[in-house]
Amino acid sequence: MEVREEPYHGNKNFETWSVSWWLTNDQEMCRRCRALAIEASHAVLDSSLVFDGIWTTAEAIRNLLADALRELVGELNPVADQTSLFTDLMDKALGEVDWHEIADAFLQE
């Protein structure tokens, strides 16, 4: 039986909402995420994926920022280097996050 996911407070799911909420409601974290958005905008200028026509500039920025946000949250994960029930649960939850949706929100600012 397939479980259908329902949107949560305008986000794809609870996991996406939760990560987005924490990233945008902590002043220092929000500043870091905005800086990552600026870095992604600059990094795309040298992207071979854009030059080769694989991605548009907007797609490249969105993808780079989504990856950077996932990496940032991964670095902050206090159980990432452990083997435990809690690590498995955290990995599962973070795997459900729509990082592109969160990137879009930062790029719209």
Quote the CA–CA distance of 93 and 77 in Å, as a whole number. Answer: 12
pLDDT tens per residue, range 4-58:
667 898 999 999 999 999 999 999 999 999 999 999 999 988 888 888 888 899 9
In this prediction, residue 4 carries a pLDDT of 61
DSSP 44-64: GGG-HHHHTTSS-HHHHHHHH
pTM greater than the 0.75 cutoff: yes
- Tokens coding 36: 């990552």
- Domains of the chain, residue spans: 14-108
In this prediction, residue 86 carries a pLDDT of 95
- Chain centroid to CA 100: how far? 6
Q: What angle do CA 93, 97, 103 make, to 5 degrees?
A: 150
